[in-house]
Structure 1
């Protein structure tokens, strides 16, 4: 290697000043190298001479660590370095097993996405090594525990080898921890004979992932003969996506979802969360009236998701919504607040103002939700009414200032104009007394 570099140095020194400087720099750096780690570091150096010497040195006895650097140099901007790296990797592939390659999947995938040159042939060559007879079992084990890009890469690597007897592989892939691999298995099932595809799809119909279930149902429907039971089951699936496909299918194959829902409501009451989500979800999509007999139990269910959907479907008026403000789940409280905004103010005003009297004892979420239910001008009136010369006036005055600063245009179609003017007049008094900053009234008027 040193003799090669001396010859290169003599050739470049007499022809090009820039290259001469780079060669001198390379000569200085390589004489300082003490081991493989130094060569790996220099393989990323800005000087092309340095990188080339480093790659050539690493290629003499490449280790698993050196392989990482060589893979990076396959995309080097200097053609000679790319060529040296490619030759080194090819020699490595012919004499080593797949173990080291499997540790470098991230770098391999990154290389396949680079566009400086076409790396497809090298990637394909690596994939061939990974599925050789002595390597394939190790590759399958790595596939079973991989995630993300690595899992998808290994699926694509293994598929050409297993496609002659694909069903066991696809069934295993449907249980893979990475859901995108499960989706790959579904896509490949379209390449099978109909009778084989149905075997795979019927397993996928009960997959834990809702995207897999919905796509499997869509692919299974045209192939199946007896569809009614599966469509009815999918209409009550916990996933909105699966139910949407089932609703589409129910129209096409003349199955009335209302009949399915009514039969389910009259049957054994739902027990598990997924059963409740299916029944309530279908009711929300087609007819909430049918679910009325079950709503009382649904509103008491321990799962916040179930209680939230039941609250949306409830037709028992504002009493149920007001009670839901004390729900321990944030999503239920926020939903109740939003639904109460749609209620007539007269129907809830007494309850809201009464609850706000316990301002400091209310949990923050409930306090904010109840306060937001007040018409805008009455929010300000409420805050000013708290200022009564006690020791906590500073808190209320600070809250009033923050409230005024948050307003841009006060929209309040409920508070009468006379009351609004009275509230502004009181705020003017606060301003003149120096309790709040000058300009607060002008900001609101």
Structure 2
């Protein structure tokens, strides 16, 4: 299919490891570099938001035969569990049998490196890449940025080294390279719900748990060992912010007031709160993603997004699916492979960045709103009756591999219809009536 090349992948994270497996499948010699120690030999905790694997991710994993190995470490979640202050609501994600899958980031990363090594990729840890010569795909490695460097020449280099990529940093110094990053004024902190003494989960393990409180929220995703990884999202400053939670008493009071049903299940609340760092959330966009036929960026290195749609990893994995399809189509013409890759993926990366930002508002505010929950019930009822006419936005993003751009455009159109439906008199009583169905059908036909 392709002439074997010597290829370097910078970054041993999820996307870099999967890319290494695909490049080995295509017959190449693959070396993976990472400035950090081997994650399989260290404790990984304190900065994680559990991953939510969905259809795009599974397609990429199954495409190279490793999906079943990953399913062994995943827990299906078929619904949201919405913890209001005084009650608990459930909201199904999709049709019966449709689930997203909770996976510990550290556990998956270790698994992906094992799978890539088994495929024949070679890993080099604690190797600091300070620069890349783009024109001839040479990596410059050294202990310090201003010390002595060793040059490693390759045929191709892929930058899979995250939102603060060194490979992209070199590309940014070209003329006509567009780059932007935008931090949210909120951060996140990891907390922990341990398993029961018998190893069972303290909360329903097949739910994505959300405590929506407007400007801030708490989420919890299940782990295989019976625990949950929790993430508290809050503004850095102002009312109800990290700046206000300065001692054990203030943290305990805040949780007792705002997340009362979480107190019993997070026994190490204050210890975790002050031990774990407060991390930032950034959206990063850039273009181009490639340099001639020598260098390409993948995953967060070219499109870091906020985590509120659970699509960061899935979008990165989809990069690899598209890249491999183009490799199969164009063979040794790497210039065309790279050009078509960035042309196809850039609009979709921008679309999921927008959707991810919007989904914070849905998770933190709208899931506590009765009108929003009614909208979801109407959409689910209508889509089950007319599946060829209406696929809800969440399903388009999560349970489909259609382009993100399509999901964004159709989702906006469908939301306009739903806002009009919600204004109908007595909609709370007649939401599942044939009359409402006809109203929706008429609106679709007028488009």
- Bin the TM-score by the shorter chain: under 0.3
Larger Rg: 1
Higher helix fraction: Structure 1 or Structure 2? 1
If asked which structure has higher relative contact order (CA below 8 Å, sep 6+), I would say 2
